[in-house]
Structures are given as C-alpha cells and as structure tokens.
Amino acid sequence: MAKVKTAYFCQNCGHEAPKWLGRCPSCSEWNTFVEEVITKGKKEVTVFSKSSKRTSKPQAIHEIEEIPQQRLQMVDRELNRVLGDGLVPGSLTLFGGEPGIGKSTLMLQMAMQETKHKILYVSGEESDQQIKMRASRIGELNENCFLLTETQLESIFKHAENLQPTMLVIDSIQTIHSENIESSPGSISQIRECTAQLLRFAKQTETPVFLIGHITKEGSLAGPKVLEHMVDTVLQFEGDRNHVYRLLRSIKNRFGSTNELGIYEMLGNGLRQVDNPSEILISNNQDDLSGSAIAATLEGLRPMLIEVQALVSTAAYGTPQRSATGFDLRRLNMLLAVMEKRCGFKLGAKDVFLNIAGGIKVSDPGIDLAVVASILSSNADIAIKKNISLSAEVGLSGEIRPVNRVDQRISEAEKLGFDKIIISKDNKGIKQSDFKIEIVGCSRIEEVLRELFG
C-alpha cells in the first residue's frame, strides 16, 4: 500500500510547505496552514467537444484580427450594468457574499428570467425539491433552466457536454470536488483545481460560468487569494440582513468598470431591481429636521441623490466621540478639523455622529459639502430646506473644490424636483440656461452657510 503523502497549504494565498509553519512566508499571515493529502498521480485531462477558437501560434499584434465582442444582454438590468453592459461569452465570474444575503436567490432568479438561453444550474448544497420550492416562490418557471444536484466535477462536465448550455451556474465552488485530488471538498487544493478546470471549460466552449463562493469571517472570499486572480470578474453582494436592500458591487472586472453599483430590494418573492436608487436613499419625511442634507453623488456612471444625517451633541464624558456609518471616519475627522480651524466652529468638545441613509458606503468626494452642511445644521439646530441639494469637495483650506461630471448630478437633482443645487464656483462649462434648477456656485464654506441659513 502506497504511503499517504501530505503537505501544508496556506488558506490565504495557497502557499505549499512540507511542514507546518506559524507564519506564511508568502503572505505573512499567521496560523493559516492546514494539512492536506496530496497525490503525484497522472491527472486526467478533460476534453471538450467544442474546439478552442484561440490560436496557439505567436502572431504580431498588428496582424491579429479584431473581432467585436458580442455580449449576452441579460434580463436583469442591474446585473447587466455591474458586469459591464452584458455577459461576455467564455467569462468566469466569482460571486461572493455573506451567508443568507441572497446569492443563490439572485442566481436562481437570473436563471428563471433568461428564457431565451439554456441554463444549467448545478447545486451542491440543496436538493432538487428545495430549489424547485424556491424557484416557484420567485415566479414563473423557466423551461430552459435545468437543475443538477452534483458535487463531482467530472460528472458535471459530462452533463454539460450532453446539454450544451448557454450559461453554467455552480452553487457553490466550495462543495465541488475533483477525482484528481484526494483532499476533501472545500480545501485549498480542491478549490484551485476545480476552478482551473472550470476556467478551461469556459474558455474552450465559450460558455459563461458563474461560481458562487462563500466568504470567511473576516469578510474576504474563502479559498486561496489566487482564486480571485484566475477568474475574470469578482462580484460582491453586500447588505445588512436586518435591512431589505442589497448592493451588488464589482471588485474586479476584466471587461468593464469596477465602479458600477447594482441595488436590489429583498422581498418575499425574490429580489426587486431598484431602477431609481434615490427613492430609497432619500427619506419621505416632510418635517423640517436639523442635521439632514441631500448630496448629489455618483456611483460609477449612475448619478443618485443620498441623504446625509448628522447629530452633534455635547460630550458627556469629556472625550468627544466620532462615529461614521457609510463614510470614511478619517475624512470626517479631517472635515471637522477644517471647520474648526478655517471657519471658527468649536466642535472639538462635541460628539459627532454621521450616517449615510440607506445603508450604503460612499467614497465620492462630492459628498463632502453635504457632510459639512449636515454637521453645521445639527450644531446650530437649524434645518436645511428640503429643496436644496449639494455637490462639491471641501479642501483643507476651507475652499469648495469642483467634482467630475457635475452636469449629470445637476440633471439628477432637477429630475427629482429639487429647486436649487450648490456646487463649486470653479466648475467650468456649466450654464444656468441649460437647466431649470437654480445653480449656485460657491468658493468658500462661509458662502455656503449664507446660502443655506441666511
């Protein structure tokens, strides 16, 4: 009987070592090595009937014929946007998120909606009856969607060879195992080998493949880091399970922008696409409350208006607290220092709490002015009028700096019924005659305060 050989693999980066190490020499992480069984036997090579359309001989780059990429337009507009205006044939997409956030629901809903394409949905976690119950709850069943409950990769390839699907969904990659690797499903070796074979399948047959992946307790995708380098697109499904809204972000995308954002609302019958994000990011409260300001921001190519809420109160325990939800805390401290140093507002002995409504995270610098306005509104306990929006960056000297694509922000504010928008005076090419909304240009924070509070 042959001796069983084992090796130790880093769960973070996949580094292999002959013995256990406390610290990985590759990624410098501690306590990440686990023991796995390895084999040196000959691996079976999976052969697919469709020949690869890629040439194997070297060519001069100017001699390569440029063929326009035909993308598959999907019914789900939010998923279409995040992928870069369609799904590229032969692409491998890794779809991650927390347990219970709705990853399987979104992929199954996509499979039910794509009635024009043949889809093979492979599940290694649920039975046929469980998936059928969830599909019936989501909506009408798709005759072109085929379910397969299988965890062996070679068997999946045989069924895909016979069915010839247009798309392949694997739920999840941690449950799939290959006969070529003796380690258990979910191990570093199995995930890496299965992903490599699925990548070959996608490229040779030009079949787009979706891989649903689990995440670790730290919030990163489970498996070696090399997994994210192998795939073409990495999508992250975010949101609080206590709220109904879910955000779909692209962390990596070889075929499109990584700044796009898709928004869904979790309902009893599935996920609803939110075409107008401003409807969930602006409260419908008609009362004039202090500490609230509306910012015109951008997420990728999508302009939207969000509500910034601030609460300023006297520090009860001597040391003031600074807390921000959905906004960078370091940038909040910087803006507070600018208001104290340049504008003379004494905020050093006060607690400041900041919240971006809707549960989203914003990194656009164009929200700075709305943050400053909401803090000063709460500090003075004077409400900002509901028909005013703001969009500008605040510099360290207290100046109001311009932001990019301000014309789209102005158009979005005008479309939602706002009467006035405050921007930087240095924004060039903006004409009042092109818009019905009143455009006010300011160069200092003091000018903004006079415009808001008189």
Taking only the tens place, the pLDDT of each residue in 257-270 is 887 888 898 888 88
Average pLDDT over residues 125-129: 90
Give the whole-angstrom CA distance, residue 214 versus residue 222: 6
Average pLDDT over residues 365-382: 94
Give the annotated binding-site residues.
Answer: 97-104
- Which pLDDT belongs to residue 424? 94
Give the annotated binding-site residues for ATP.
Answer: 97-104
Tokens of 408: 């789209």
Residue 307 has pLDDT above 60, yes or no: yes
pLDDT in tens, 76-116: 999 998 998 899 999 999 998 888 888 999 999 999 999 99
- Which pLDDT belongs to residue 32? 83
Residue 320 has pLDDT above 60, yes or no: yes
Residue 40 has pLDDT above 80, yes or no: no
- Which pLDDT belongs to residue 369? 95
- Which pLDDT belongs to residue 225? 67
Q: Is the pTM of this model over 0.75?
A: yes
Judge whether 95 and 235 are in contact, CB under 8 Å.
Answer: yes
Give the whole-angstrom CA distance, residue 171 versus residue 122: 6
Average pLDDT over residues 51-56: 50
Residue 283 has pLDDT above 60, yes or no: yes
Residue 53 has pLDDT above 50, yes or no: no
Q: Of all residues in the chain, what percent carry a pLDDT higher than 70?
A: 91
Residue 254 has pLDDT above 60, yes or no: yes
Tokens of 269: 């019958």
Closest CA to 249 of 68, 146, 95: 95
- Which pLDDT belongs to residue 16? 85
Tokens of 2: 């042959």
- Which pLDDT belongs to residue 52? 45
150: exposed, middle or buried (Cβ count in 10 Å: 0-12, 13-18, 19+) = middle
Tokens of 439: 């455009």
Amino acid present at 372: V
Give the whole-angstrom CA distance, residue 271 versus residue 108: 11
Residue 42 has pLDDT above 50, yes or no: no
pLDDT-derived band at 51, boundaries 50, 70, 90:
very low
CA pseudo-torsion sign 315, 320, 325, 328: positive
Residue 362 has pLDDT above 50, yes or no: yes
- Which pLDDT belongs to residue 1? 47
User: Which residue's structure tokens are 């509104």?
Assistant: 377
Q: Kindly report which listed range (52-66, 105-119, 239-253, 315-329) carries the lowest average pLDDT score.
A: 52-66
Q: Is 73 helix (H, G, I), strand (E, B) or coil?
A: coil
Judge whether 329 and 340 are in contact, CB under 8 Å.
Answer: no
